[in-house]
Amino acid sequence: MSDAFAAALEKTSAEVDDARPVLEFSDVHLHFAGVRAISGISFEVGAKELFAIIGPNGAGKTSIFNVLSGVYRPQRGTVRFVGEDIVGRSPHQIAAMGMARTFQNIELFSNLTVIDNLMLGRHHHVRYGVLAALVFAGRAHSEEVAHRAVVEDIIDFLEIQQYRKFPVGLLPYGIQKRVELGRALAMEPKLLLLDEPVAGMNVEETEDMARFVLDIRDELAVPIIMVEHDMGVVMDLADRVMVVDFGSPITTGPPHDVQRDPDVIRAYLGQEHASAAPMGAPR
């Protein structure tokens, strides 16, 4: 990793207290017209942890992400990010605090190049005004050069150099998912939310993405919350796993313990399979 991106992440990590959780999600309740999407869920994420959330379809995983990113406001409970209560804050404000997100369905600008899409991830770090942008001199020019250096570092980190100037709509699906991950990294996140990062990928693309996710945690020291249906990926990558079903928590713990929990097996496979072999054995 070259100097620009490393320096940016070092500055970001200096703002996170390693001795306390980067995120505290406490007794959160969310309902819509009588439908309980989240019912009393609590968890914490450490400063350098990869925390996975799993559960059957409709279990409340996306609702948790939408509460975290400010799309939904819970009726009860607290959510503290880097020590500050974020309930009631807008998605824009939460993103500016350092929470970045990828999406299950790719949300890129297909007509823009890889570089342009990644540069959009820098918008929270732009400090010059409209006039300076029009003139494009002085501060505007120097900032643009610095932002471009960070983006080039991310391109190298994700090994997408050959696609730099391609419109993303022309790229293979797995590369598009990598570009979306890169755009989130361009925000210099204090916490990264990954929503189904390997959904729809083939085996080779899945292995590549899993490697990058581990590098983000281990080399960049960025904490991660991951929602994923691929149990092999979850069990291989996560430090801890929380299982939810019908908006309620079932269990939280190390992957080895979670995959053998009878209540987890029952939620996925039904009562008759509760004593069967462990689900999602490591790949």
Tens of pLDDT along 58-115? 889 999 999 999 999 999 999 999 999 999 999 999 999 999 999 888 889 999 999 9
- Statement: residue 276 has pLDDT above 70: no
Give me the long-range contacts of 165-170 (CB less than 8 A, separation at least 24). Answer: 165/113, 165/114, 165/115, 166/113, 166/114, 167/110, 167/111, 167/112, 167/113, 168/108, 168/109, 168/110, 168/112, 168/113, 168/114, 168/117, 169/108, 169/110, 169/111
CATH of the domain at 33: 3.40.50.300
How many domains is the chain built from? 1
Residue 90 domain flag: yes
**275, 225, 270: which is closest to 252 by C-alpha?**
225
Q: Is residue 278 part of a domain?
A: no
- Looking at the domain assignment, is residue 125 inside a domain? yes
Name the percent of the chain in helix, strand, coil, to the closest 5: 40, 20, 35
**For residue 186, what are the domain limits?**
3-273
Residue 184 lies in a domain: yes
Q: Is residue 283 part of a domain?
A: no
pLDDT for 109-162, tens place per residue? 999 999 999 999 987 776 555 444 544 555 666 777 888 889 999 999 999 999
| Backbone angles phi and psi of 167, in degrees to 5 | -60, 135
Does 69 map to a domain?
yes
- Would you say 6 and 14 are in contact if contact means Cβ atoms under 8 Å apart? no
Q: Is residue 234 part of a domain?
A: yes
Whether 243 is covered by a domain: the verdict is yes
